[in-house]
Structure 1
Amino acid sequence: MTHQTQAPEARRPDRAALAIAVAIAIVAAIITYSTATATGGSATRIGPSVFPYTIAGGLFILAVWTAFEAVRGDFPEREEQQVGPVIWIVAGLVAQMLLLHITGFAIATGLLFAATARGFGKGPLWMTVPLGIILSFIIWVIFAKGLQLSLPAGPLERLI
């Protein structure tokens, strides 16, 4: 029996990873530009602008690293993306943004919770919607009443 060794297949650069690297680099550039052109601030050597510059620097390093790995083809093969779960999660985010100031924090975030659970294949909506609203209401009580932070209040929150 003869053993034939096959030459390892050269992987092409990962275009999706290169696109992600470019997006990260653009975010780093936007943060750097925004921080550099901001008016006001502190006259001290280490002031509030140090943190955005640090974050931008970290993002730039990640962008270079991601691009390097993409060119080498070191990313593992990805599974095919399922569109359904992504649509559920994005729809939940959109619903929360649209309903936050109308229905309040608890209801809007409860709907986001339910849509995200549905996207991950967990529980029926008749169970996850009330559960999400209850958990979100508890979070609202902790933040709004306990920590005195301002979160959008709707009819449910106005009961307290």
Structure 2
Amino acid sequence: MSKGNTPLTQKRRPDRAALFIAAFLAALAGLIFWDTSRLATIVSYSGIGPATIPFVIACGLLFLAAWTVFEALRGDFPVRDRQEFGPVIWIVGGLAAQMLLLKPLGFSVATGLLFALTAAGFGKRKLWFTIPIGIAICLGVWLIFAGLLQLSLPAGPLEHLFW
């Protein structure tokens, strides 16, 4: 065994991705603190008001940001695998399709396409199989939410066949 730089004696650089995540968490906490300060002017009869839970969430996010910075500077994060962009593109495409098709085609078809494209991102590329399954599952969800719970979800031609 040779002497020199072994993995145990080699000093790792700070994890830049973790530092970016910590900055994002801190910025999100700051935004919630700012919004909470506007809610704090609402007077309630007890010490717990509409600003209490957002304040606790912001404190938790700030704690997580500080912890992430500490771990990033120590270099304790495991080495990550290379990012695969193909699955991300499938899922983002599914989200975009859902947003574009939700109003004209309704909840079941738009969300069924999101289901199928997300499944394709995870490796199930048989769209002829996953699209009908996704639409059927989403139609069941729509029927439960619209029929039993009386909640309003966008209805398209398929939903109008059932309701």
TM-score, shorter chain, exceeding 0.5: yes
Moved more, 6-15 or 110-119: 6-15
Of 99, 106, 120, which aligns to 1:104? 106
CA contact (8 A) 1:105 1:152 kept: yes
Runs of 4+ in 1 over 6 A off after TM superposition: none
5+ long unaligned stretches in structure 2: none
Aligned equivalents of 2:31, 2:127: Cα separation in 1: 40
Amino acid at match of 1:60: L
1:67-94 deviations in whole A, cap 9, x for unaligned?
1111111110000001110000011111
Alignment of 1:30-69 (within 5 A): 30-38=31-39, 41-44=42-45, 45-69=47-71
SS at match of 2:64: helix
CA contact (8 A) 1:42 1:48 kept: no
Amino acid at match of 1:122: K
CA contact (8 A) 1:17 1:67 kept: yes
Superposition RMSD in Å: 1.6
**What is the percentage of aligned positions where both structures have the same residue?**
56
Give the equivalent residue in structure 1 for 2:120: 118
Moved more, 40-49 or 8-17: 40-49
CA contact (8 A) 1:96 1:108 kept: yes
Give the equivalent residue in structure 1 for 2:151: 149
Aligned equivalents of 2:126, 2:26: Cα separation in 1: 40
Structure 1 length as normaliser, TM-score? 0.92
Amino acid at match of 2:87: P
Give the equivalent residue in structure 1 for 2:25: 24
